[in-house]
Amino acid sequence: MNYSPQEIIETVKMVQAEHLDIRTVTMGISLLDCAGDDGAVLCRKVYDKIMARAGRLVPVCETIEKELGIPIVHKRIAVTPISLVAAGIPADGYVAVARALDRAAAAAGVNFIGGFSALVHKGFTCGDTHLINALPEALAETQKVCASVNLATSKAGINMDAVALMGRIIKRTAGLTALAGSIGCAKLVVFCNVPEDNPFMAGAFHGIGEPETVINVGVSGPGVVLHAVRESPEADFGELAEIIKKTAFKTTRMGELVGRMASERLGTRFGIVDLSLAPTPAVGDSIAAILEEMGIQTCGAPGTTAALALLNDAVKKGGTMASSYVGGLSGAFIPVSEDAGMIAAVEAGAMSLEKLEAMTCVCSVGIDMAAVPGDTPAETISALIADEMAIGMVNKKTTAVRIIPVVGKKAGERVEFGGLLGTAPVMAISRLDSSRFIRRGGQIPSPIGSLTN
């Protein structure tokens, strides 16, 4: 990849003044060859393989940071869904596997490790059931382990038994991590149409169609896009889309450069650039601020969903022009606690869960890092998940829920997580009863549009 002097100057400016960074370099590692029926042996194999493959990930990334002058905020690992790897061991061994993952992540020096995961959109295997039941304890006893469960696809429909179960699991996870603001739930996400090459947590895992190891990169540039939009106050929407596309083109090129350098030095394959706009709690690094710069008084006001749709589409178009290897989620994230503008919008009364759900129809993920009162019933959480799964299923898009029922907190209060997880204002949630709906169970069939073969 050759860069012109002008591109280099522009990149330096974006890094220094506009919050541009590589949000994550994530190494995916297959653990399928670690599988067996002895839990202790499995844990040893998992630890040893992660260290053998990813032991140099952090120092390599740090060297690239210094050479290019581009911050790489997080270094992460994603592994094969543990429900597959640990399928042969007893149920009481799954938490030990989570601890082994945590030890390996700590020894490798990475920020997070993803893949304590299960795919249950059409039903449960024994391994799926064991893993899901182990989630609360596993997330309470580890620091770096992230978990995900895929509950629905556009082809299979929605596994409502799994939806009901995950409402209870989320509540138990919140309870076991209550002293830390129920933070365990911030490391757990449920999906519809989960991608197999996502470098972002908490949903990253190494898909079964992936190679033995791979490097995937997540680029983040809300500040860069905000700056570009701010410099074009009179542009109409067609012109604005072009401006955003050009900006996404530049950030994606930078992401692929970093990914290819890392993969070459680590002796592994380069996978994809996920060109998602992932915000941070820092002022000026906000998706909400971009939407407001387009002319929305406060994020959540009428027009917000249309503005987000333009942003999401333009980012994807610009990125795919820059690289043939775009994947993961790719688009605009709207996590509540991780975006200073979203936090302000919630606290101003402009953003509700209902408006957030509407926005998820056109963004990259879904209801993300939203805190709700700790006394919210499990069935209400499940029903909210079901709504979001339906949006993804019908629209053939990836969507997700990462919700945190904060024990001891009420609507209007705050919970502090720190770091990229930020500060979550506790949002009001409907008190109407959905328990009869959730108790029906079974499978919501896929829509007629799924019959595409």
Tokens of 378: 């499990």
pLDDT in tens, 131-179: 999 999 999 999 999 999 999 999 999 999 999 999 999 999 999 999 9
Q: So what's the pLDDT on residue 283?
A: 58
Q: So what's the pLDDT on residue 322?
A: 82
Amino acid making up residue 230:
R
2 has a pLDDT exceeding 70: no
Amino acid making up residue 170:
I
Amino acid making up residue 311:
L
For residue 9, name the pLDDT band (cuts at 50, 70, 90). Answer: very low
Contacts of 349 (CB under 8 A, 6+ apart): none
Average confidence score pLDDT of the chain: 91
For residue 12, name the pLDDT band (cuts at 50, 70, 90). Answer: low
Q: So what's the pLDDT on residue 19?
A: 59
440 has a pLDDT exceeding 70: yes
Of 54, 50, 135, the closest CA to residue 98 belongs to 135
Residues of the chain with pLDDT > 90, as a percent, come to 72
Tokens of 414: 């705050």
pLDDT in tens, 70-88: 889 899 999 999 999 999 9
- Spell out the domains of the chain, with CATH numbers in brackets: 29-192 (3.20.70.20), 215-447 (3.20.70.20)
pLDDT in tens, 287-333: 999 999 999 999 999 999 999 999 999 988 888 888 888 888 887 88
Q: 32-46, 160-174, 271-285, 397-411: lowest mean pLDDT where? A: 271-285
CB 218 within 8 Å of CB 176 = no
63 has a pLDDT exceeding 70: yes
Prediction pTM value: 0.92
Choice between 284 and 279, residue whose per-residue pLDDT is larger: 279
Q: So what's the pLDDT on residue 250?
A: 82
Choice between 203 and 452, residue whose per-residue pLDDT is larger: 203
Phi, psi of 103 (to 5 degrees): -65, -45
Region of 144 (left: φ > 0; alpha: ψ -120 to 50; beta: rest) is alpha
